[in-house]
Structure 1
Amino acid sequence: MASDEDHQVYCQPCDEEGTGLPAHGYCTDCKEHLCKTCFTAHKKNRLSKHHKLLDATSMPKVLQQPTTPIHTGLSDDLTTPCCKHSQEMIKYYCNDHKNLLCSVCVTLEHQPTSCKVDYIPDISGNIIDSKEYQIIFKALNTTFDHYQQMVADAKEMMGKSNRSLKDALEDIKMFREEINLRFDELERQVMHVVKVVEQENNSNITAVETFCEEVTKSLRISSEKIKLLNTSKQANTLFMELKLAEKIMEDVEKTEQQLSTYDVKEHHFDANETILTKLKTEKSLGTLTQKTLNKECHSVQIKSRQSSHEGEICLKTSKDEFRCWITGMTLLTPDLLIINDHNNNAVKMVDTSSKSVSNQLQLGDKPWDITRVINAELAVTLPYKQTIQFISISSNKLIKKHTMTVDGDCCGISCYQGKLVVSLRSPAKLQILDMNGTILTTIDGRNIFKDPYYVTSNRSSIYVSDWDMNTVSRLNWKGEVIGNYNGMSAPRGMSLSDDGTVFVCNWARNVIEEISGDCSTGKVVLQDLNTTVTLSWCGETKKLYYSCYNSDEKKDNFLYIYKLS
């Protein structure tokens, strides 16, 4: 008995699981002894039913050592459940369908006659530190980084979208304020008419009261005198006094007829039905337009542009004593450009469609830069007075409004959502102010700029051109420098494009450059221009307006127009 037990052969698949059942047969293909249950299943399994099987009488009586490695000890880590058959572990791989399979998957869906199926331990021996491992691991990390960046970009774009909605709310408030200001102005006009009529009425009534008081006083005195003379029997004096009384009453009657010509009337207010009808028919205060928000590139490639000369506009007027020096300009509409004439102490309204100066306002001092504050209001820097002059537009005329004092020689100016950005010289600094002149932020120019001539701004950035340092600096609204474009030669006026790029006048090189919003790249778009000073871009018409100054009246008195596509 002991000898028989020593030579007992057990089922190898069950032995790997620690069951220890006696062998009932043998598979010559798998080179494994099988118990009765495994033997029966082996014949039914589609993957193994064609294998050659030996029964208990024909099978080897001792454990066979296969020429290929047995999977004992390698299958311990095959413990991942199949996603389709939760009671089965994944042990196979289909090369044709690139799928991980369990035994049931192999039997039902990936038959050996149609698929190339491998037992995972047979093909995984050389996978450690293999080329396949390195490629997939690298691709996995790359994909991970990609989607991690997508999450970060999504959060950033969501932040931008939410900020844009906040900005839209601010724009709505500003628009409402503009409407209120316009209605306030119309109300003041009507109130002025009321006051004028009231003053006329008061003046007429005062005249009537004064006359009547004087007449009654004179008549009372005459009546009393006549009565006294009649009582005292003074006939001669009485006669003369009666005749004087008649004369007084004749004069009074004539004057009364003149007073009766005073036309005193009642008044009532007739509302402007056009305004009421318009307000009733309008369905909304405005529209909320949408723009697809793409991931912001850290280095924007400036596109090549084709340019064509569209002509000039003569800016010299009969009021001008000197040749023009246009140091600032801002475009209100495609047909309306407002410019500063430094030499002639003037702000001029330019009709770009008729190419003529339609209105001119004398300031009494030399202006430098100009910006739009709201639709019908502008702000102009007067550096020699250290003052900002506000100007409104009414009935196609420029009208002086109030002024604001600043603490330095103010040059460049820009306005974004009710905040003024002003560059000051000696010492160089940048200030952000509200519309009441309250300083919100002061940015010390040391180590940033030395001679900041111009500024422009948008939602995320403030751009400063520095004449001395030959740079265009980009700052955020906290005053932190977040970009620099170097290598320019005395940059001056700037204008933002609708794509977020910045057009810059490069004075010394006689060119206009377009630089990316992050100040990383730039490209010359116009050259050979004769000392460009300042410019303005119209995104709707794709036209660029610029001025120059080189002591040549034939060139300085003109505004030049180029179309860029």
Structure 2
Amino acid sequence: MASYFKSSIHRGCDFVHDFSCSPCEENGFNTEAHHYCTQCKKYYCQNCVSKHDGLYQKHAVLGRIDVEKWEAAPEVVDAIKRCDMHPEEALKLVCCDHDQLCCHVCVAVDHRPCTKIQHIPEVAKGIHKNIEFQQIPKKIAELHKQLEKMKEARLVNTTSLKKTRAAISDEIKRIRKQINEILDKIEKTTLQDLDRMIATLEKSIKKDIETCDKMTIELQNMIAAFKPKAKSSESKSYIAYRKSQDMISQANDHIRDMSIKKCYNVTFQPNNIIAERLTSVKKFGVLEEQIVQTKQPHDPLTDPNHVFRVAEFKKYNLKINDEEGCFINSVCELPDGEVIIADTFNCEVKLLDKEYRVIDHYDVDCNPWDVCHIAGNEVAVCVNNYGDGKHELHFINASKGKIVATKKLSFTHECIAATHYAGQLYIASGCALYVYTMSGQKVKKLYEDDSWNDTVQKCAISNDGKTIYITNYDGHELITLDNNGNKLASLTDPDILAPTGVHVTPAGQVFVCCFRSKTVLQVEKDGGKKLATLARKKDGVHRPRALFFSSRTSSLLVVGWHKTFTVMKLI
């Protein structure tokens, strides 16, 4: 250490020494050391060393001529005095330019241009009377208390997680047992059908064998009547002749019938839909990590009860080249901020960048009605051609500013809206809501209302999968279902006329747009109450068809029967 500091560094009226006198430093003076005691492990100036020698005559004291040896026996530095950057050095200086504690190496390497380098004893004068200094122990004690509470809470949390793990494990085992019971029942029913079929066939075979045995005996008995023996009367012979003819005819008929069905057999055609559905299901359920926040600042993006208001309206043009106009029927945002819209009027799916400029489009041979985000950059598009009865779901990927089609699914009913949740597709047909696997196998019809033509137009599912929202266009209402299809609520309101789009944010806020009333609403999570009317026709909302909340920008994207779409900044 001393080899790097053979001379002092001057900073204004202060001197920064390579070694400072320890007693002087303790008394607030900045004095260069000329001696080092190997026993005391302290530095001394000329004045202090005489006092030291008077008290400790047998101590070995090294002078400046032996300064290189001082490195072999460095000052014992308390942990609090050590430099974070150079742990072998003690903190002795303060750089006021950077408001940073420094050792000699810090000053030489990082603070050479600085003009305000002060010795710590000078800066520290009167520190014990400083109010903030006096409050430090109290603050530390409070922090210590809080940290202990946090630690205790984390330990309790660890215990609760273990209990949660056990509870979820039990639930998974219960589901597995339930599935096993269902499979056992299916197996039992199938085997019972097999046993009944085999028993019926065995009974038929036994009957054929008995008939063969009976006819064989009768034919053998009849042969005896034709053996040469004492002449019998012609009448008896005639009777034998006629009976034998009848018997031969019956035997031939039986042989012919048995020849047609030479052998009975049973085949088995597996029900592959069971394996397909089990294969498409990767897990028994969805595991979600939940962070419970307490006493945190209010965040509208995570508070399901927050009622938004509009801070700003902006409009963007969606036309491509010489298009006369657009009829945008759906919109969704991808994770990277790009946006997908379905232009029903122009039979196009359009890709927009983060500034809502059209950068690519995918031509569809018929009308695209809805876009549904699947995962990552994958989107499903509902396509219908009413002329030839085509009802399809087109899967596309949007990557690097381009749209690429991947696969299609076909349906026997209309496919006007779709929602994806937990590996299943929810397809709205206009008057019913179906559940399908990702491979296109129908699971069930979840809900139906055939009182009008357009009672199930679009749907949205809450983040936990427990609540489903449906827009009833003809009935002018928002329907709320549980995940079993049971109706929980039905909301009507003067501002709800011909509701079209519905969207649920990750936090659980519900938004609805209405075509005829030209309104955008926020609805409570339970679906039974209107919380706010966010926009009307006077705000530039023109025949809205769909909407999507962007968590990235805290904005509501509203599209409809117009060449522009509206971006509503919410707070």
Q: TM-score, normalised by structure 2?
A: 0.45
Q: Which has the larger radius of gyration?
A: 1
